[in-house]
Chains A and B, each alone.
Chain A
Amino acid sequence: MTQSVPPIGFAGIRAEPQDDVPGFNLNESGVPRQRVPWFDGMRPGSATSEYPDTLEPEALPRDVGEPVQVTPPQLPEWLVALLSMPLPRLSTAFDPRTSQRIAPYAPLIRPLSAYQPTDQSVRTTAGTPVDDAGSLPDPGSVETPSDQVWPAPDMPEWWPADINPRSDIATAQNSNPPSSQEAAWNAWLQPLKEGQPSTQVGRDQSPGPSGAGMVRPPMSVPPTLSLSPAGHPNFLPAKAGDADMQSVQQPRPVPQDQETQRTDPATPPSIMPGYADDPRSNDALARMQLSANTRAASVPNVRGTVIASLADGGTFDRTPYPAYGASSELGTPFGYTGQRFDAKRGNTYYRNNRLNLVDLHGQNTEGHEGTRPSMSDAYPEPLIPGAQYAQVVVQRNEAVTGNTRIDRTTERLLSVLADTVQSLGPGAGPIFGIRAHVEFGRRVEELNIPGIRDKGVEQSFSLGEAAQYGLEGSVRTDVVLRDREGIPIAVYDLKTGNAKLTPSRVREIRDALGRPNIPVIELRYREESAMLR
């Protein structure tokens, strides 16, 4: 099965080459371009990339490369080819020093294929209507952007005067973007392979990630394809269809907020070109060279939950988000999961990349340089010597058993433990220990984790049976994981102090459960780690 390509891009707006609208298929010399098969096996305009797992990519039309019939008027062949040329994604970010568009991954930029933005009544030469209606946004729901928002200086000089590419491009805006963070994460970009043909996108073969980060877009690429809404280009809007979304194609100053406040507009931040492969919250912003005390970066924990803010002066403040980010009055536009909320528009901008979760098998993937292309071509993120980075506690799972059910549960419990630590903070003593156990148990119960559910938390055992708390000879466990038949397969014991699970206690637990070899896993509050005992 050919792997379809999830939508690249930013801000949840998918620009799409116009299969059936002529005029885009010219190379840099203005010669009609021979169409080539798409490297991902998808026909331009296929809607499969929006839901890559649910729809099969369609086969290439037999008439690719032939001019399409458009009546009336009949356009010249070169114009038909030009307009049918796939259009690459463009960055919405501009280098404030050079006023050039920042395109850090120029060789790999390629057209998006989320939606076919054209009128469905347009037919191919074979007379077969393009059947993408099921995934098309309602044309009426998307407005055509006005000329005001399209930067005239970026228009190709050779562009025919009677062609306004913007009118159709605007329909590429996705009127039904993912409405949840999960949806945004699911739109994960497939890694591009080296050597992938770039001829479709009219890009030169400039260096890859290690090369110069800023590449001026080729002349054949209409810059008006940048359909990014206002805000950080790393974010996808959770609420599309907003009228304001139509007027944000041009990069403009980010709203004044905690993260991007600039005290002196005359001294814009210098943005180092590079390649972002790190989806952590706002690292690029954190590395912008701003004046002191003008911005702070949100610091997520391993689950992406914002736990603190890091000012450029190095001040590290814990963010008092309650469980599940219930509070919205924290004086920051960044929500519990680090997504920016634009109060003016009512949009929540989801990041266009997944969380960089720590490998809970004991390996921290932070700092790992993946092979994926940059997910943020607006703020490339090179490592800057001397820059301050947030310190996030890394959870350690040293209790890998090889049993998938147990190991997966251990990872989940470690995440719950991290939330508990975040909620309660550090502490000591028996009272704090009880508080930590109660809070941890409550969170575990709420998650209704398979194998734990209602009877796996604070359950006492005696003689291999579940028993009431306080029964003579019984042992109360913190968490017990069962298999599908109800057999206990792992026991978790939370330790908040310096005390460790002793061998004798482990034996007691095993005897009470009637399982002499059951893994007993110690969850250590202070270290946020799991140890197999």
Chain B
Amino acid sequence: MSIKRKTLQLIQRRLKGTQLCKDVLVVLPTEHILRGFLFERTLSKDMYYLWRVITPLYRPANPVFLTYSKRISKSRYFQLTREALDETAEHIASIMSPGHLSYLRRVRGPKEFLKHVGWMAGNTMLNFRVDLALTHYLLGNVDQCIKILERLPLEDLAPPFRAHIVPFFTELRTSPADAASRLQAWERENVERLGLAETVSGAVQIR
């Protein structure tokens, strides 16, 4: 077990309502949005950044992108070593809770996710606009979703995304049921890949 995972495991024991899934300490329950904490390596040996993760699962091939996440180890690293790991875990848990943990618990679904990214409203990055469209779709704002996607130069998307999003957009206008199934499939794949099955509350439903 890696030192990152070992530390998160110790933290999990201290923070109720969390579950370690692979290298992410996930905040329960998972409803379309992955919320949790993870460590990221730095250039220095044994030093790690601590991230408060928020990322939508209803997008294709998400390996836990950190675009909507936050480094909470601002201007300092966390040293994770085998020695005194309990004390380290205790210290980190005290940093996570209650502030960051409470915040994550509030960002439960797509509606809260929209609020979370509200400050990025003027962001014209393609990936962000796609996420925005998909979030609106999940919330039932299909027209808004189409409106956003129509304005995007989808051909400029990175090839892996383009291969998924372009068909989805086509289906959205021609066969909405297929579009819904496609989006549901993305989410299932992400849940499976990230080992989140146990954290998901009920079936992933697409409106």
Contacts and interface: CB of A to CB of B under 8 A. Distances in A.
A408 B126 CA distance: 27
A467 interface: yes
Tell me the interface secondary structure of chain A in the complex: loop
Contacts of A453: 74
Given A464-B126, A464-B158, A514-B126, A469 B40 contact: yes
A454 B71 contact: yes
Interface in A190-219: none
Interface string B157-185: 01011000000000000000000000000
Interface residues of B, number: 32
B75 A442 contact: yes
Contacts of B49: 458
B97 interface: no
B42 interface: yes
A438 to B, nearest CB: 5
Interface in A455-484: 455, 458, 462-471, 484
B20 interface: no
A514 B127 contact: yes
B74 A454 contact: yes
Interface string B89-133: 000000000000000000000000000000111111111100000
Contact of A486 (B43, B71, B123, B158): B123
A485 B122 contact: yes
A465 B42 contact: no
Nearest to A474: B63
A434 interface: yes
Which of A442, A455, A463, A465 lies at the interface centre, i.e. has the most chain B CB atoms within 10 A of its CB?
A465
Contacts of B70: 454-455
A231 interface: no
A434 B43 contact: yes
Interface in B54-100: 63-67, 69-72, 74-76
Contact of B65 (A448, A465, A486): A465
Contacts of B193: none
Nearest to A513: B125
6 contacts: A438-B42, A454-B72, A454-B75, A458-B43, A468-B40, A485-B119
Interface of B: 38, 40-44, 49, 63-67, 69-72, 74-76, 119-128, 158, 160-161
Interface of A: 434, 437-438, 441-442, 445-446, 448, 453-455, 458, 462-471, 484-487, 511, 514
